[in-house]
Amino acid sequence: MKADAGRFFEDFGLGEEIRHAVPRTLGEADAAIYTSLTGSRFPVNCAAPVARSIGLPGVPFDDLLVFHIVFGRTVPDISRNAIANLGYADGRFLAFVFPGDTLSATSTVIGLKETSNRQAGVVHVRTMGTNQRGEAVLDFVRWALVRKRSEGSRAPVPVVPDLPSSVSPARLHVPTGLDTKGYDTAASGSAYPWDDYAAGERIDHVDGMTIEESCHMTAARLYQNNAKVHFNQFAEASGRHGRRIVYGGHVISIARALSCNGLANAFRIAAINGGRHVNPCFAGDTIHAWSEVVEKLELPGRQDFGALRLRTVATRDRPCHDFPDKAPGGAPDPAVVLDLDYTVIMPRRLG
């Protein structure tokens, strides 16, 4: 049989390295489609003069577009038969990506654990995305709940990797050549640099965005994410929810786009420290978001940039003016769909 049905939990081996097929050359059209899907408004990703003002040769791709493209390379080998993508950790954005760059991906299996009902297993992988010069642009860990081919098949010895709670400032990468002297806050629409934020501060991003069926399907196709749970209604009609679930990365992108209202100068994602998709999301849901400043971080050797460690919580059909979080007893509020811990780079006030 020449066609490939994708891997099941039994098909993974601890320490296995997987080179993913279909490298992807990105063009300006990819950026335009991404903007049409998310409405992202960070000016460094929108305007060449703004990008050049901080030392970049041109407009870089949105960091999350890069993440999704690399993620999409991995889906046929890792999560085509996934029930859900569960979480992320230890992710670092290492280089800007520009039109004409070609992205490839490899993954290493670093954890395997069968579920108690023996119907599936959790697969942990570390993925590296590289450009056409072999330079690393992105490195992250994710874990997915993957169906078993046979409930009675023998399970491997369980291994769950020990992952850091966050990416330390010393491991954050600020690309060489960046300079804040020409950064224009009028272009971002926000006068607030890194200095004006405080640990513990909470920001309601106010706006909401409804996910249309066409939007999340276009996003999955843009990233070439062929997980059945996202694109195959025929298969999912008999699944847990009876319908396709929205790719969780699309929810992350919407939450990030909404965060521009309150964090407009956070022009670069430096790290994904951790995160999980708390509840599934479906077409017709309206996403709102709020963020908390977890830490203010000094960047070694840099006085022009600082970093904020943020926690962004996204909800469905629930505005965030009162910061929905934990319900009584510690369980997540039923409206919460995403809880993401990540680090952004922002210009500091000069002088």
Decide if 317 is inside a domain. yes
CATH of the domain at 217: 3.10.129.10
What is residue 329's predicted lDDT score, i.e. its pLDDT?
84
- By CB atoms closer than 10 A (0-12, 13-18, 19+), residue 333 is middle
Mean pLDDT of 232-241: 89
Decide if 157 is inside a domain. no
Nearest to 204 by CA among 334, 302, 291: 291
Mean pLDDT of 63-67: 98
Decide if 176 is inside a domain. yes
CA atoms within a 13 Å half-sphere pointing along the CA-CB vector of 102: 7
Which residues face 82 on adjacent strands? 146
Q: Containing domain of residue 136, as a range?
A: 9-150+167-347
Which SS3 state, helix, strand or coil, does residue 251 take? helix
What is residue 76's predicted lDDT score, i.e. its pLDDT?
93
Decide if 235 is inside a domain. yes
Mean pLDDT of 179-184: 87
Cα–Cα dist 65/251, whole Å: 12
Decide if 159 is inside a domain. no
Per-residue pLDDT tens for 15-54?
999 999 999 999 999 999 999 999 999 999 999 999 999 9
For Cα atoms 77, 79, 83, give the angle at the middle one, nearest 5 degrees.
Answer: 155
Per-residue pLDDT tens for 239-269?
889 999 999 999 999 999 999 999 999 999 9
Nearest to 143 by CA among 17, 276, 247: 276
pTM for the whole structure? 0.95
Decide if 101 is inside a domain. yes
What is residue 351's predicted lDDT score, i.e. its pLDDT?
56
Encoding tokens for residue 268?
Answer: 């670069």
Mean pLDDT of 229-235: 89
Decide if 1 is inside a domain. no
Mean pLDDT of 81-100: 93
Q: Is the pLDDT confidence value at 330 over 90? A: no
Residue 197 confidence class, pLDDT cut points 50, 70, 90: very high
Domain count, the chain: 1
Decide if 106 is inside a domain. yes
